[in-house]
Amino acid sequence: MCPICDVNGVSRRGFLALASAGIASGLFAASNAAWAASDGAPTNLTADQALARLMTGNERYTKAPDVCANNLIRQRDEVAKHQAPWATILSCADSRVPPELLFGGVGVGELFVARNAGNMVDTATMGTIEYGSAVLGVPLIVVLGHERCGAVAAAVDTFEKQAEFPGSIGPMVGAIVPAVQAAKGKPGDLLDNAVRESASLSARHLATGSPLIADLVTKGKVKVVAACYDLDNGKVEWLA
């Protein structure tokens, strides 16, 4: 129930090549800096293998959900000085959408997770995901939207009713409005369509808007996909 990532030796030539090509020039002055948490090898899983593992984990979660506490101490000890996550998940901050659980009880040190309301790609999130792929060697990036997302629902209200929200909530919601506009007029429920459109737009933004990620995608070292989580049945739908 809690598979432990196989981290057999793989060199970091991929990232060093990016640096030598100028893609990451100046970003990481010291490749062995302590903050990199990358003194060991990255995962040896490919993007497709990582995706298959997430799919299998979600199927397990929907059919026989369980929370496994086995080996947590051992897992913690193994990753205390080095992390080698095999998938990055950008998901909503919604408390009902915990990536480690809905993908089948993924263990400590396996997923590199960024969460915010609406699973949007702001500057901090972009940098976090770039760090995951360029420094830690994560081969798969998943943007995970979810059913009845409150942030997207607020964007729908902004678009349709000119709703306004206090503080920083307004600008946050405003960033989702383009997804609502793109979903308008499509068959089906506007909120449901906007959730999927938002996840897909964020995935495309990651794959093309970051020179670091775009280069890795072009070289076949990273895959970016969008998905949508169903709150009612626990299933993850993978979007084209």
Identify the pLDDT of residue 25: 37
Which element (helix H / strand E) includes 224? Answer: strand 223-229
Cβ neighbors of 220 (< 8 A, separation 6 or more) are none
Q: What is the pLDDT of residue 4?
A: 34
Q: Show the tokens assigned to 149.
A: 């997302």
pLDDT at 67: 62
CA 169/CA 222 separation, integer angstroms? 32
Residue by residue, pLDDT tens for the chain (240 residues) are 444 333 333 333 343 343 333 444 334 433 444 445 556 789 999 999 999 999 999 998 998 776 655 577 888 888 898 999 999 999 999 999 999 999 998 888 999 999 999 999 999 999 999 999 999 999 999 999 999 999 999 999 999 999 999 999 999 999 999 999 999 999 999 999 999 999 999 999 999 999 999 999 999 999 999 999 999 999 999 997
Q: What is the pTM of this model?
A: 0.82
Strand order of the β-sheet with 140-146 is: 111-116, 87-92, 140-146, 223-229, 236-239
Structure tokens at 62: 């929907």
SS (H, E, C) 79-138: HCCCCCCCEEEEEECCCCCCHHHHCCCCCCCCEEEEEECCCCCCHHHHHHHHHHHHCCCC
Question: What's the Cα-to-Cα distance from 156 to each of 23, 36, 95, 173, rounded to whole Å?
Answer: 38, 39, 21, 9
Name the H helices within the chain: 13-20, 47-63, 72-79, 99-102, 123-134, 150-161, 169-174, 177-183, 190-209, 211-218
Q: Which domains does the chain have, with CATH numbers?
A: 45-239 (3.40.1050.10)
